[in-house]
Structure 1
Amino acid sequence: MKPYLVFSLTAALGAMGELAGHERRGSLAWPGRSAILGLLGAALGIDRDGDFAALDALDLAVAVFDAGAPLRDYHTVETVPSAAAKRPNSRPEALAVARGRTNTTITLRDYRAGALYGVAVWGEGLEALAAALMRPRYTLYLGRKSCPLAAPPGAKVIEADSPEAALAYLTLPPWRRARTATARMLICDATEDDVVQEQVHDIPRDRALWHFAPRRVALRDVTITVGGAP
């Protein structure tokens, strides 16, 4: 047995980063490694340009209890040609100067509505991470800043034989504690024995430039049931 930090993530809307272009911001069906490390960094109070070395060394797994419903939001983005703006003092001034010469683009934003995930983390410094999740320095989001968590993570450190066993001790959100929750999928680093694998780009390489490296993850069929005990 070894120690695991376990906590839940749920939000009315969540957006788990995916490869994105200018017109499209997609979302995975679960939070990737970079999203979880960023959330832990926010709890600790680490800025984007801070030292993430200790967090990068952690191992983690994600269980999908509720994948949520896909939701797509359409945005109209209006930009001003640089030749028309000529260093305006404000956006309204730039739009007034442009006088109909603006460029309008429709962009897409994908979300997951009502999702619930369980996260298991193992490595060094788990107690400090659990304390930080209970009293985070920065606001915690499930992806974008428009997606704050709907309930506290309920972080705790327990001893278990595996991530699956550890996740059975999750603290569910208040509205789920009267009934059980069951996960059917676990996402973790893939091994040669894993039959179902997928490649995702979620290993942070350069946080300033938003560069991410690929990794192979396993999608394991599991049954993890949480009884709802606080």
Structure 2
Amino acid sequence: MRPYLVFSLAATLGAMGELAGHERRGSLVWPGRSAILGLLGAAMGIDRRGDFSALDALEMAVAVFDSGAPLRDYHTVETVPSSAARRPNSRPEALAAARGRTNTTITLRDYRSGGLYGVAVWGDGLETLAAALTRPHYALYLGRKSCPLAAPPAAKVIEADSAEAALAHMTLPPWRRADRFGAPATARMLICDATEEDAVREQVHDVPRDRSLWHFAPRRVALRDVAITVGGAP
């Protein structure tokens, strides 16, 4: 057996990064490694340029209780042609130099509405992370800052034989607990680092390499069919 930190992630809206171009920001159906490390860093009070080495060493698995419904939002982005302002010092200066010669582009932002996930983390410093998730330094959100969590993560450290076994002891948000609806909540999928034995594998780009430049490396993840049932009692 080993210790696991388990907690829930529930949000009315979540945006879980995908490979993105200028006009499209997609979303996975589960929170990737970079999103979870960013959330843990926010709880710990680590700034974007801070030391994430301890968090980067953690291993994790994500259980999908509800992947939510897809939702797309449309934004307009105003850009200034380089010929109008080659080296602007600020956005107002660039717009002033353009004098009405700006380019407007419609961009797309994808979200998941009503998602619920369980996260298991293992490695060093789990008790410290659990305390930080209980009293986070910065606000916690699922992907973008416009997507705050809908319930506290209810983090706790569990001794278990596997991530699946540990996740069965997590505490769900009040509206998904068995004692209210009469039936336990069950996760049907577990996402973790893939092994050669895994039948279903996908490649995702969610391993942070340069946080200031938003560079991410790929990894192979396994999509395992599971039945992780949580009774809901604290």
- Asked if 1:202 is matched to 2:206, the reply is yes
Return the TM-score normalized by structure 2.
0.93
Shift of 1:88: 8.3
Structure 2 residue identity aligned to 1:193: E
Of all paired residues, the percent bearing the same amino acid is: 83
Structure 1 residue identity aligned to 2:202: E
Could you tell which deviates more after superposition, 73-82 or 137-146?
73-82
State the match for 2:191 in structure 1.
187
Structure 1 residue identity aligned to 2:196: E
State the match for 2:120 in structure 1.
120
SS at match of 1:72: strand
Distance 1:26 1:71 in 2: 10
Given the superposition, is the C-alpha separation of residues 192 and 104 from structure 1 closer, same or farther in structure 2, using an over 3 Å criterion? Answer: same
SS at match of 1:13: strand
Shift of 1:84: 3.9
Structure 2 residue identity aligned to 1:207: R
State the match for 2:169 in structure 1.
169
Shift of 1:76: 1.2
What RMSD, in angstroms, separates the aligned Cα atoms of the two structures? Answer: 1.7
**Equivalent residue pairs, number:** 229
1:51-94 CA-partner distances (Å, limit 9, x unpaired): 11111111100000000000011111122335445858764x76
State the match for 2:29 in structure 1.
29
Distance 1:79 1:205 in 2: 28
Given the superposition, is the C-alpha separation of residues 137 and 89 from structure 1 closer, same or farther in structure 2, using an over 3 Å criterion? Answer: closer
1:131-175 CA-partner distances (Å, limit 9, x unpaired): 000000011110011111111000000111110110011111122
Given the superposition, is the C-alpha separation of residues 23 and 45 from structure 1 closer, same or farther in structure 2, using an over 3 Å criterion? Answer: same
SS at match of 2:40: helix
1:95-133 CA-partner distances (Å, limit 9, x unpaired): 566454220101000000000000000011000000000
Return the TM-score normalized by structure 1.
0.94
State the match for 2:72 in structure 1.
72
1:127-138 alignment runs, 5 A limit: 127-138=127-138
Structure 1 residue identity aligned to 2:77: V
Could you tell which deviates more after superposition, 96-105 or 67-76?
96-105
- Is there any run of 5+ residues in structure 2 with no aligned partner, and where? none
Structure 2 residue identity aligned to 1:34: S
Given the superposition, is the C-alpha separation of residues 89 and 156 from structure 1 closer, same or farther in structure 2, using an over 3 Å criterion? Answer: closer
SS at match of 2:147: coil
Distance 1:164 1:94 in 2: 53
Distance 2:90 2:228 in 1: 56
Distance 2:11 2:91 in 1: 34
